[in-house]
Structure 1
Amino acid sequence: MAETRSFWAGTVGSFLQADFEKILGQLAVRVSLIHSGNEEQQLIAWKRELDILQGAFETLGTDVLPWGVLLEMPLQRLGRRLDAVVIIGGTIAVVEFKVGSRTCSSSDVQQVEDYALCLRDFHAGSRGRNVVPIVCAEHAPPVDLPPSIHVLENVSPVLQCNAGGLANCLAMIQRFNDGAPQLDWETFDSSSYNPTPSIVDAARHVYAGHAVAEIGRADASAEVLESAANRLKEIAIQAKRKGSRRICFVSGTPGSGKTMLGLDLVFTGDAGRVAGEPAALLSGNRPLVHVLREALAEDAASRGMTKKEARRQVYQGLQNLLDYLKEHSQGEAPPEHVLVFDEAQRAWDAEVGKKLLGRERSEPALFLDILNRMPWACLVCLVGPGQEINRGEGGLALWGQALEEAAQDGNRWVVHAGYDAIHGGEYVGDGILSGMHSQRNALQLVEEPSIHLTAGLRSYRTPSHGQWVAALLGGRIEEAASIARGMDAPPAYITRDLPMLKSWLRERCRGNQRVGLLASSGAVRLIADGIPPSPRSNELDQVAHWFLKPSGDYRSSNALEVPLSEFVCQGLEIDYAGICWGGDLIWDDGWQPRAMRAPKWQMVRKDDARMYRLNTYRVLLTRARAGLGIFVPFGDDDDQTRKRRQFDLGCKTLKMAGCVSL
């Protein structure tokens, strides 16, 4: 029998005929190749699992012999495994055994539910199939099964049973399958598994020592990420060896893995910390830095490090950008030769520099001034599209100006960038050269196709979501509708009923998935619909609680009590988002941004201010990984700030663009 991806796999018929001692030996050999542990306890647990499965199959009779059985099926490259998968016709049963247990806890339910959701979302063989999670607590009291199985987006609620009740669960799934053709277990076992971690999970994995090749997908997009990560490390090493200054512009679509690459460069072993040198990721996004710091510190503490030491190490690698500039703009050079500048397209101009630091210098110019004092440096700039939401954010043109000025002062930089970052393009806006006068003569430009990322990883269930958002906010409604028709699921669901949106989100708050409400900071009249304002960007603990606290904690996003604005959710993400659409962006032969000048709205006329408001909704519309809901209020004609017609037109336009009513 050829080696399978699962530790053992075959039909129920071959399972019942097999020598269980040989199966146990095969399981033991396979697990020993991954890690060592308490083998004796593991063998006892496996033997009970095999006995329970055997008893269930024999109870059900000969009809079940063609079913597939997979034992210890790897769920991802980081070592997570499913106890057992039973393929019942075209339906997938995921069985999590709790050998010796007399109870089935809420964490047990959440664990197997999360396994089922991961299969649905990331396993090619499970795509479009119904998945039923089961917790089998060996000695638990009997539990009444529901009258029937109902699935939500192909995953049913968790069934619970004891050892003697497993046969009833499998029989219930058999009836639910209703004669659908039997899925081949070999095809299922060999199907690719392509997980897409959230930025918080990716940060945790990188900090724990895993490279992007281990935590990302197993498809072409993973190869692209790995190639980009390796190239960035090569450039950093070249900078040290040659005593040169190099700047890399990593560009790409929203959610394509840019921040993951930055974390990889900073935290992953020797290659990231070039020859043991310290490195740091700098971000002006204080909420992002705080959430990642707290997540990494909690994770490190859970693995045995004191939280104080964990925080010290994390704070060295993740730093606030403005604090860095204040500390190092004058005086000694910083210790880090390798720096990652997150959201570099949002760098501010000289006017903002004067206000913040008392120096009429742009942020790129200040950065290069600091690094020009060092014998060598490698600065990696992560560049995303349409994320500018503050005045004074100048895009890549500011970097071109700063590099040209540095060259004129005798400090030449080698620039590594993709074609779009150099010349301008859809995902970067104006390119580096647009800010220069002498153009190429001032710089050594090296075109690097490998550091322009085109695969959108965030919206893993609707990969073209970013294109849809671009068309929608660009006012190209027919184009948006065309993109939506090519999606497997609608780009968003829309409702005029806030409790209905919350109910839709709560139904999807399963396993470890997170749901939450979002709203524009300019949508100040949403309070009339019972929607409170977002925490401010300096209320960092509230933001961290929103992203990290579990269900049941009122501070969690899952409580659906408080929305986050663009200023505190940018760069972060959740699985299902509910956007509360405000009166600050209405439709009237095109999107019309407005600002509240109490007691009434005022149309926004300036081009840059209009762009910031559209980018606000671009940020909000691209925070969801799995699904998006939109609440559009009805309005109230007795309130001049909430006219019904304006909301009606906006709702109609969103539907014309492909949104579907709940």
Structure 2
Amino acid sequence: MLNKEEIKSYYTIRELKELSTSEIISNIECFLDEKINCNTFSKGQIISWNKSIDLVKSIFEKDNKNWNIIFEFLIPLSSGKRPDILLINGVTIFLIEVKNKSEYTLADLDQINGYKLDLEYYHSTAKNFEIKPILLLLKANGLKENIGEIVVLSPDNLKPILLENYQNYLMVHPNSLNDGNFKPVPAITEYAKAVFENKEIEHIEKACFLESSQISIDLNNVYNESKAKNEHAIVFLTGTAGSGKSALGLKCAFENNGLYVTKNRQFAENLNDEIGVCSNIKTTHNFITEYSKKEGEPIWDLIVFDEAQRFWNQDKMEKYFGLKSSESRFVLELYEKKEWGVLVVLIGSGQELSWGEYGNFYQWKDAINNANKKWMVYGSNKTKKGIGYSKKIIYFEKNNFDLSHSFRNFKTPSSPVFINKLLDFEGTLDSYYFKSLQKEFNELCDNGFKIIITRNIDSAIDYCEARYQDKPNSYCTLTSSESEINEIRELNFKSNVLYDYKKSSRLGINQYFNNNGLCEDSNGDLIPLTEFSAIGFEMQMPIIVWGVDYIWYKNRWNYEFVRSIVGNTEFRQNTYRILLTRGRDGVILYFPPIWQLDNTFKFFKELGSESI
């Protein structure tokens, strides 16, 4: 075992030539053990290291100071992502991913492209230089193929490519890569953890969603002004799926010692497990149950209500809680017991999921107009139009309180807008509008957001395992609560999908995500989450099991094939909007091979989705 001081993070050509292959492999093992506590390596990994090190050694016949080499470059904050080789020359970083086989898969291409985009978008040093991705197939011969920006090579063609791009100087020092700042967009739980541990997060906010710093300042100003003037204020923060509403709400609650309330019980449990703070995070159900049974006022001067587009009307509140008021009115009346207070209401556009839920502002307008105290109302012009005019409403317009860019998909911020267009589309597949959708989709794919399709669930699992290599929170299965996938007979796949709402809604969600959707007591079956559990969560590439409740038929999206559905087209559309916006790198759509889904599969194939 090497001493800590002896472990090398990069090699010059001289060092590469002087050290034996076994010495370099030993150093790599010590390096990974030291940095990420990784000390178990497969036989295939050792073989790959041997072959790739010997290959690089054979390319350089003599010392050349214009080259440096990094093996197993660690991408920080990425659950162990590490490109196999970085060869550095001039202003170029050759990003080489080595595969001990003769043919490549889509997962191989997407994996190396993902590494490239991570470095280009998030690494403070790498983004300033040219990155050339090379997929090296050790068992191939005479292969050279350009696929977009990726070059797929056999070993005999690596040296010619390097010579073709050689520069007689060295601008990128490997230490600047190893020591460079890597600032990826965090998952919501990682962001929340950073907030509650009071870590430095300005760089995250500035990089990830526009005007976030100003929004936080504005929210804190509303709080301080309400406190100083003994006023009651309600703030409406609206936005598309993944636009950063929850992140801003969590930060606001923490900074002002407030309460964060969410409709999704499993989301609250996941936050509590990750953060270890239970008293400041509750579910809406627990909050209503607690305060409908006691006369006291809330102890919090500020409460953030997440997923407030799912607030219930009076009929639903009466059915489940015995309360003769809408959820909006209940909250306002409760807070009027206090001398002052601030409500921050987070509303996701197009994410109502069931009867009695209303994302429009009618119920809020009704609650404010019937309030016993005067309420200061803050929101965007869009919110102002939704609430409408009333003598009892004192409105302060803040147009930055409507978030339109994706926090989740930083590399493709327009992806939620594209999903909305996709679900709204009606017409033939040769129409001008569909062609514009195809063009927009191709642009998203180029920047790393994909919609991949398959008729074989095993292929979807294989893709995710190959691309993400069992890194936690990379993938799991999702489906609509009305999908009727259990009616589909045994399809003779290794992986069996079993929809069980009671089971999925009671899953230990933290362990579920860490195991990429596998449950210990599921007998090997995949238990997909429904839209009710998935809302608020995110992962790298979820696998959506498409149901017969929302299919492409006669040039429009259709839900009439499922007669038992309670609800309307809007709820079906919102369900698939939520499912399709959970992934950072995109989604895989699994269409079980039944005739009812043939047209929908064809729709996505015509759109430009790659099939596996």
* Shorter-chain TM-score range: 0.7 to 0.9
1:484 corresponding residue in structure 2:
441
Cross-structure match for 1:119: 119
1:584 equivalent in alignment to 2:549:
yes
Deviations 1:28-70 (A, max 9, x none): xxxxxxxxxxxxxx9x735642796575256456564223679
2:49 aligned residue: none
User: What residue is the counterpart of 2:304 in the other structure?
Assistant: 340
Q: Which residue of 1 aligns with 2:509?
A: 543
Alignment of 1:303-318 (within 5 A): 314-318=277-281
Residues 234 and 173 of structure 1, relative CA distance in 2, 3 Å threshold: farther
CA separation of 1:81 and 1:348: change in aligned 2, threshold 3 A: closer
After superposition, the Cα gap between the structure-2 partners of 1:85 and 1:46, relative to the gap in structure 1 and judged at 3 Å, is farther
Pairwise CA distance, 1:499: 1.8
Whether 1:285 and 2:264 are equivalent positions in the alignment is yes
Q: CA deviation at 1:501?
A: 1.9
Partner of 1:108: none
**Pairing partner for 1:473 from 396, 416, 423:** 423
Q: Which residue of 1 aligns with 2:453?
A: 494
Secondary structure, counterpart of 1:416 in structure 2: strand
1:17-96 pair list within 5 angstroms: 45-46=4-5, 48-49=7-8, 56-57=15-16, 59=18, 60=60, 64-67=64-67, 87-88=88-89, 89-92=92-95
> 1:374 aligns to what?
338
- From 538, 541, 559, give the equivalent of 1:573: 538
1:386 corresponds in structure 2 to 350
Residue matched to 1:323: 286
Give the equivalent residue in structure 2 for 1:413: 375
Match of 1:262 among 249, 252, 270: 249
Mark the runs of 5 or more structure 2 residues left unpaired by the alignment: 19-59, 98-111, 428-433
CA distance in 2, matches of 1:542, 1:516: 14
In the alignment, is residue 179 of structure 1 matched against residue 164 of structure 2?
yes
Shift of residue 178, structure 1, vs aligned partner: 6.1
Asked if 1:450 is matched to 2:433, the reply is: no
The aligned residue for residue 46 of structure 2 is: none
Cα deviation, residue 486, structure 1: 2.9
Would the alpha carbon gap of residues 495 and 468 (structure 1) be closer, same or farther in structure 2, given more than 3 Å must change?
same
Q: Is the 8 A contact 1:213 1:222 kept in 2?
A: no
CA distance in 2, matches of 1:50, 1:472: 46
1: CA distance between counterparts of 2:363 and 2:266?
24
316-325 vs 175-184, greater mean Cα deviation: 175-184
Deviations 1:202-230 (A, max 9, x none): 2222222125414x2553x4452222122
Matches within 5 A, 1:353-368: 353-368=317-332
Matches within 5 A, 1:185-200: 185=172, 194-200=183-189
**Matching of residues 186-265 of structure 1 within 5 Å:** 194-210=183-199, 212-214=201-203, 216=204, 218-219=206-207, 221-222=208-209, 224-265=211-252
Q: Name the structure 2 match of 1:660.
A: 610
**Who is 1:514 aligned against?**
474
Counterpart CA distance in 1 for 2:485 and 2:516 is 29
Q: Distance in 1 between matches of 2:520 and 2:551?
A: 31
Matched, 1:649 2:595: no
The residue type paired with residue 263 of structure 1 is L
- 1:465-494 Cα offsets, whole Å, 9 max, x none, are 212211121124614324213321564111
State the shift of 1:117 in Å: 8.0
Matched-pair contact (CA < 8 Å) for 2:86–2:94: no
For the residue of structure 1 that corresponds to 2:569, the secondary structure is helix
TM-score (norm 1): 0.69
Distance 1:117 1:472, change over 3 A: closer
Q: Judge conservation of contact 2:206–2:212 (CA < 8 Å) in 1.
A: no
Counterpart Cα distance in 1 of 2:118 and 2:391: 51
Residue 387 of structure 2 is aligned with which of 420, 432, 445?
432
**Is the alpha carbon distance of 1:502 and 1:77 closer, same or farther for their aligned partners in structure 2, counting shifts above 3 Å?**
closer
Confirm or deny that 1:422 pairs with 2:384.
Answer: yes
AA aligned to 2:363 is: L
Q: CA deviation at 1:498?
A: 2.1
Summarize the Cα distance change of 1:540–1:525 in structure 2 as closer, same or farther, 3 Å threshold.
closer
Q: Residue type of the partner of 2:119?
A: L
Name the amino acid aligned to 1:87.
I
Secondary structure at the counterpart of residue 544 of structure 2: strand
Distance 1:444 1:403 in 2: 10
Pair 185,567 (structure 1): closer, same or farther in 2 beyond 3 Å: same
- The gaps in structure 1 that reach 5 residues or longer are 1-41, 95-111, 134-144, 157-169, 298-313, 424-430, 434-438, 596-600, 636-643
Of residues 146-155 and 473-482 in structure 1, the stretch that sits farther from structure 2 once superposed is 146-155
CA contact (8 A) 2:232 2:374 kept: yes
1:612 is displaced (CA, Å) by 0.7
Please state how far the C-alpha of 1:243 moved relative to its aligned partner. Answer: 1.2
Q: SS in structure 1 opposite 2:329?
A: helix
Report the aligned-residue RMSD: 4.3
